[in-house]
Amino acid sequence: PGTLHVVATPIGNLGDLSPRALDTLKGVDAICAEDTRHTRQLLSHFGVERPLLALHQHNEEAQSEQLVARMLAGDQLALVSDAGTPLVSDPGFRLVAAARAAGVRVSPVPGACAAIAALSVAGIASDRFVFEGFLPAKGGARRERLSHLAAEARTLIFYESAHRIEESLADLGAAFGGERPAVLARELTKLFETVLDGTLASLGEQVAADANQRKGEFVLVVQGAGDDTDARLVEGRRLYQKLAGHLP
């Protein structure tokens, strides 16, 4: 049978596509991509001309069976997403699970991942961490999620987009306390890369004060709750958040 090669692509800087990723993409029968137009641009930059198949959250379930059948018949397929490592806040989980269930070899070609890149420069304890991906878009659901994370002792990593970064920092400050240390990594590996450090409150202020700091893509790394984080304080905040939704 063939193999499913799970290939990481750059998160901004094209120099981060590894030589092995390039060789793999050149050698497969087809490349499954989240957005074929986006991936075609990347591949044409590197002179790769392989057939592209769309695999996104809306068709992944339906496509997986067919793709697995191709690999069982001997095809080599690659899986990429728009940026970074597939399956990390990106499609691919269902295809990988289906391939493994069918006994198809699944092999990684590792590379860029925004969460790990941010953690590697944050200077916040990195021996134990939790990746939370994107917070819920709706305010109520987001605050509910945060109330459950306020006492988490491990370092927390969040993804955020430009249009919600201010709201999320405000909600994080309310749930965890504004004094909690955090690092905001923006546009990593790109021209306007910035890594701001401070507290949830001071990061909120910096982002509010400078419109440029609200542009682009963000990873937020938040220190875990320490022994000094009073459990009663956390519980108090959680209750307050819950009640605040019901107050006029």
Measure Cα distances from 156 to 35, 81, 132, 164, 245 in Å: 29, 23, 7, 18, 25
> Of residues 60, 132, 171, 217, which one binds ligand SAM by CB under 6 A?
217
Measure Cα distances from 67 to 4, 34, 81, 99, 200 in Å: 9, 14, 16, 8, 44
> Of residues 31, 157, 188, 225, which one binds ligand SAM by CB under 6 A?
188
Contact call for residue 12 and ligand SAM (CB under 6 A): yes
> Of residues 109, 113, 184, 221, which one binds ligand SAM by CB under 6 A?
113
Contact call for residue 185 and ligand SAM (CB under 6 A): yes
Contact call for residue 157 and ligand SAM (CB under 6 A): no
Residue 59: both structure tokens together: 């068709």
Considering only residues 60 to 99 of the shown chain, the ones binding ligand SAM according to CB under 6 A are 81, 83-85, 88-90
The values of phi and psi at residue 104, to 5°, are -80, 140
> Of residues 33, 129, 135, 160, which one binds ligand SAM by CB under 6 A?
160
- 141 close to 38: Cβ distance less than 8 angstroms: no
Residue for token digits 């999620």? 145
Residue 118: both structure tokens together: 């941010």
Nearer to ligand SAM, 156 or 234 (CB): 156
Q: Which residues bind ligand SAM (CB under 6 A)?
A: 11-12, 81, 83-85, 88-90, 113-115, 159-161, 185-190, 217-219
